[in-house]
Chain A
Amino acid sequence: GENVEQHPSTLSVQEGDSAVIKCTYSDSASNYFPWYKQELGKRPQLIIDIRSNVGEKKDQRIAVTLNKTAKHFSLHITETQPEDSAVYFCAGGTASKLTFGTGTRLQVTL
């Protein structure tokens, strides 16, 4: 089956700086890679995704990149704000069946 690894497990950045979270996957058949944000005590929220036929996707301050050859994908957050503080999960697989990374706790400090 699929195996998704996520790094780093914790990340602290100053407000306004960029944050990058990286994930690798093992199954070359995986074609769908969503990212979730989970604020403390709340339910996960799907924030952006990328499919294997696309190399990059952007939505305002967040962007995702995918390198199929190297089997890795990344989440980039620019101009970080305190409300970006949360745990972020990557996932990989098909749109219906997903394997998740173990999460990155992002702390945005003032």
Chain B
Amino acid sequence: EAQVTQNPRYLITVTGKKLTVTCSQNMNHEYMSWYRQDPGLGLRQIYYSMNVEVTDKGDVPEGYKVSRKEKRNFPLILESPSPNQTSLYFCASSQRPGSLEQYFGPGTRLTVT
């Protein structure tokens, strides 16, 4: 089954404690992207990756890091989380940018206290 998986699905953590949210896809897609969703603000793109070792900033990259060492994985790293990073995070993938066949992960709800 074609899918994008994210782990963990829910996380409550404290300010400053490094964390990683994993994203994995099984469709050999080249393009992957991270978004955060906040009430009243909609979706905002954090980082995206066109292929292995190729990553670039979206609209809100501050406080986040990503890596793309393998095609299937695109982890989101918060090295020193702060309360303003409390949000719902989605990972998505598609064979190429702008493909209508875009798959979103189930989301990760992160709370930073």
Chain A residues with a Cβ under 8 A of chain B: 1-2, 6, 32, 34, 36, 43-46, 48-49, 51, 89, 91, 94-103
Residues of B in contact with A (beta carbons under 8 Å apart): 31, 33, 40-45, 48, 50, 56, 58-59, 90, 92, 96-98, 100, 102, 104-107
**CB nearest neighbor in B for A96:** B97
Do B90 and A100 have beta carbons less than 8 Å apart?
A: no
From known contacts A43-B104, A43-B105, A96-B56, infer whether A89 and B42 are also in contact, taking CB-CB under 8 Å: yes
Known: A98-B45, A99-B45. A46 touches B40 (CB 8 A): no
Give A10 Cβ to nearest chain B Cβ, in Å.
Answer: 12
Chain A contacts for B41, CB-based, 8 A: 102
Contact yes or no, A101 B42, CB < 8 A: yes
Shortest Cβ gap from B33 to chain A (Å)? 8
Out of B43, B58, B97, which one reaches A95, CB within 8 Å? B97
| Docked-complex contact B107 and A32, CB < 8 angstroms | no
In the complex, the chain B residue whose C-beta lies closest to that of A95 is B98
A–B complex contacts, Cβ < 8 Å, 23 sampled: A1-B59, A2-B59, A6-B42, A32-B98, A34-B98, A43-B104, A43-B106, A43-B107, A44-B43, A48-B100, A51-B98, A89-B42, A89-B43, A91-B43, A94-B97, A96-B31, A96-B33, A97-B45, A97-B56, A98-B45, A99-B44, A101-B42, A102-B40
User: Once bound together, how far apart are the Cα atoms of A94 and B48, in whole Å?
Assistant: 12
A45 touching B58 by the CB < 8 A rule?
A: no
* Shortest Cβ distance from B90 into A: residue: A43
What residues of B have a CB within 8 angstroms of the CB of A100 in the complex? Answer: 42-45
Q: Contacts of A94 on B, CB cut-off 8 Å?
A: 97
Contacts of A2 in B (CB 8 A): 59
Which of A32, A48, A102 is B42 in contact with, Cβ under 8 Å? A102
Query: Chain A residues with Cβ under 8 A from B48's Cβ?
Result: 96-97
